[in-house]
Structure 1
Amino acid sequence: MSDTPDVGPAVGTWVVTVWADRDHHELVRARRRADDTDELPGEFPGDLPPREIRLTGDEVRIGRAGDRSGSDAPEIDLTGPPRDPGVSKLHAVLLALPPDRWVVIDAGSTNGTTLNYGEEPLTPDTPVALRPGDRIHVGAWTTLTVDRR
Structure 2
Amino acid sequence: MAAAGLAAQEAVCPLCETPREPGQRYCEECAYDFLTRTVPAGREHPAPPLITQPTPPPAPPSTPSSPPGVPERPEPPAGVAATWLAEVVPDRAYFDRGDDGSVPFPTDTPPRLVALLGSRTLIGRRSRSRGIFPEIDLSLPPEDIGISRAHALLEHPPGGPLTVTDLGSANGTWLGDSLRRVERGVAVELAAGARIYLGSWTRITLRAR
Bin of the TM-score, shorter chain as denominator length: 0.7 to 0.9
How far apart in 2 are the matches of 1:82 and 1:132? Answer: 26
Task: With a CA cutoff of 8 Å and minimum separation of 6, indicate the structure with the bigger relative contact order.
Answer: 1
Q: Which runs of 5+ in 2 are unaligned?
A: 1-80
How far apart in 1 are the matches of 2:105 and 2:176? Answer: 19
Letter in 2 for 1:27: R
Letter in 1 for 2:135: E
**Aligned pairs, number:** 130
How far apart in 1 are the matches of 2:200 and 2:140? Answer: 13
User: Cα distance 1:88–1:15, how it changes in 2: closer, same or farther (>3 A)?
Assistant: same
Q: Quick one: percent identity of the two aligned structures?
A: 37
Residue aligning to 1:143: 203
Residue aligning to 2:98: 28
Question: If each structure's strand is expressed as a fraction of its own residues, which one has the higher value?
Answer: 1
2:136 is aligned, of 76, 84, 88, to 76
Runs of 4+ with deviation above 6 angstroms: none
Contact kept in structure 1, 2:91 and 2:203, CA below 8 Å:
yes
How far apart in 2 are the matches of 1:41 and 1:82? Answer: 15
Contact kept in structure 2, 1:21 and 1:141, CA below 8 Å:
yes
TM-score by length of 1: 0.79
Deviations 1:44-69 (A, max 9, x none): 1011111101111111000000138x
- After superposition, residues 108-119 of structure 1 pair within 5 angstroms as 108-119=168-179
**Radius of gyration: which is bigger?**
2
Residue aligning to 2:167: 107
1:57 is aligned, of 118, 128, 132, to 118
Q: Which runs of 5+ in 1 are unaligned?
A: 1-10, 30-38
Q: CA RMSD in A?
A: 2.2
Contact kept in structure 2, 1:97 and 1:103, CA below 8 Å:
no
Letter in 1 for 2:86: V
How far apart in 1 are the matches of 2:179 and 2:205? Answer: 17
